Amino acid sequence: MAAATMLDSGCPRRNPGGPLEAKAGCLHVSGQNQMTTETRETDQAYRERADRYAAASAGCAARSRAISHGRLVCFLAAGAAFIWLLDPGGPVPLQLTLAVVLTLGFFGLVLYQNRVNFRCRWYGDLSALNEEGLARRARDWGALPYDDSIIGDPDHPFADDLDLFGRASLFSLLGTVATAPGAATLREWLLEPADTTTIAQRQSAVAELSPLIDLRQEATTRGRMIHGATPASLERFLGWAESDPWLPARRWVIWTARTLVVVTFTLVALNIMGIVSYLAWLAALAVNLAFSYTVGKQVHHIFDRAFARESKYQRYAEIFKLVTTASLTAPRLQQLQTEMAGGGIPAYRQLERLHRILSLAEVRFSMPYVAIQAFTLWDFHVLARLESWQVTAGRQARGWLRALGEFDALAALAGLRFDNPGWAFAEVGPFDPAGLSATDLGHPLLNDEARVVNDVKLGPPGTFLLITGSNMSGKSTLLRAIGANVALARAGGPVCAAAMRLPPLALETSMRVHDSLQAGLSHFMAELERLKRVVSAARRAPGPGTLLYLLDDIFQGTNTVERRTAARKVVAHLLQAGAIGAVTSHDLALAETDELSAACDAVHFTECVEETADGPRITFDYKLRPGIATSKNALKLLEIVGLDSSDAETEGGAAP
């Protein structure tokens, strides 16, 4: 349930990646080793693939070095052949043939080495991706790539409380998402619930994609090769693709250009036949150039807009091709493939067509451009083709990106299931009475060795789960385990449980509450604002269904008597509103009222304290037990960190 906790030289120290660790023999924690044959096979699969791709990358690197030597030999030999060609008495045909062949061989080796170097990088990236798979399995957050641009909304009800974003987070655990649309989609799914039909469709797609590791890893690797394709740059491309084209409102421009070209070539033909003077077609060329530099001044500006935006989008063509040509059977995956082939032409072919058109526009940077433009008015014809693409395909581009983002998010959830084959899909439905139940529920951010699992039940409405226990016993981690798994279930992904059943849920939490100097809020007022939002959400009819609340040791910023009274009122409001949830507390008397005692389902964590020659030794097993906690450990912790607890004991003991 909880990870290890540690005290080092009397001071708690938090691991940069997440939970606390045990150290120095002061505390001992009991993890539950959940390594199974399936998870070992997953580790072996990643290890074998990482080694295989690393060997392939090394082989390509060796080949590239050999090609470099061959290039050098060809270059020197070609140079010698050209020097030999200067010999006036030599066999010129042989000299020339040898020089040309060696020169062509040199450039051929350059092209071949570029291909080999690409494969070297490709295999290296695939090897690194499988090494990341092992790091994700071990929850080694420092070894995983981290994109600090993907952050949660600081005002979101539960993103920070449940560690949805950040280095050690659910988003990092789903780190195979590799495209900007995919990251945006996955972020939205973690924050906002889907309806039951959508969840079922996503679960089916995730189940099919999970074993397709080659497809998923190739899509991820190609996505990571796309640099600079930020949501803002993609939006600029979509802005151009969806904008109104320039020519349709000026049809006379393209028809004038076509007419001028016909007239020009007609005059050239007549001149060849001796009917007109060459001055006639020279005059036509002058008219054409004048037309280009006046009416056509806007054309190059349009080309520049299209180039600046297409260059980032074009890199998605390979991923579109990979996805649309894959053999997939899940209904949602087939629907996404259809959306990537709107109008019957796949997105990757439309992007290839766009790239070819813009390649034609690059003629304006070539030496013979002026002559080509003068004779053919080239730019106007290329613009007509470009805007034809804009009208027929540009309006579909946003749908292609949305479908790609959903596929990328589904593939990331599928990677999570592949990494954790023992995890289950939650059963989500309008159950009556509404309630959440889970078997062997654990925290998804803890690795198999550290994770301890528990059976959990919340609901039906009119009841709440009261979790008590001493310091560091696992209360907060249990709440986060419940919330993180609910977020995964609502996204359509697997949950860290053997089985889970829940209704459509709105989710509200109050765990990590921070004061705000800028907003002028003390910790107590910040917590009041958070709890006000929770109670308000319970009072109004929640859109997605029943409200699930998770409250961690609320009202810490006030005295014991007022704290107990205030907490009771909050819980009573939530019960009356029909919400379900869990509350942790050190106050063992919180539920000692007629109303709350009848609604309270009390569970607790405990610890074992034993005296050793080195002082007290505390052991946690993080297993839930029925009833209210009876143990305390605050004074024992004082002794462990080297503080004298005798004065506190004589003054009436310590709070649990």
* SS3 labels along 155-208: CCCCCCCCCCCCCCCHHHHCCCCCCHHHHHHHHHHHHCCCCHHHHHHHHHHHHH
> Residue 90 has what pLDDT?
73
Give the model confidence (pLDDT) of 491-535 as tens digits.
999 999 999 999 999 999 998 876 554 454 566 777 788 888 888
Calculate ∠ Cα 303-304-306, nearest 5°: 65
Mean pLDDT for 76-104 is: 86
Give the model confidence (pLDDT) of 380-402 as tens digits.
999 999 999 999 898 898 999 99
With cut-offs at 50, 70 and 90, classify the pLDDT of residue 315.
confident
- Tell me the pLDDT of the chain averaged across its residues: 84
Q: Is pLDDT above 70 for 309?
A: no
Give the model confidence (pLDDT) of 337-393 as tens digits.
999 987 788 999 999 998 888 888 888 888 888 999 999 999 999 999 999 999 989
C-alpha atoms less than 13 angstroms from C-alpha of 333 in its C-beta half-sphere: 22
What percent of the chain lies above the pLDDT cut of 70? 86
> Residue 516 has what pLDDT?
52
- Please tell me what DSSP assigns to residue 33: -
pTM of the predicted model, to two decimals? 0.85
> Residue 186 has what pLDDT?
95
Give the model confidence (pLDDT) of 178-216 as tens digits.
898 999 999 999 999 999 999 999 999 999 999 999 999
36 Cβ neighbours under 8 A, 6+ residues apart: 421, 422
Query: Are residues 453 and 497 in contact, defined by beta-carbon separation less than 8 angstroms?
Result: yes
Q: How many CB atoms lie within 10 A of CB 9?
A: 9
> Residue 619 has what pLDDT?
77
Query: Are residues 503 and 548 in contact, defined by beta-carbon separation less than 8 angstroms?
Result: no
Give the model confidence (pLDDT) of 586-643 as tens digits.
888 887 887 888 899 999 988 877 777 776 777 788 999 999 887 666 666 666 666 6
Mean pLDDT for 69-83 is: 91
With cut-offs at 50, 70 and 90, classify the pLDDT of residue 52.
very high
Mean pLDDT for 49-71 is: 95
Closest C-alpha among 472, 494, 499, 464 to residue 601? 464
C-alpha to C-alpha distance for 417 and 275, rounded to whole angstroms = 79
List, in sequence order, every residue forming a beta bridge with 552; answer none if it has no partner. 584
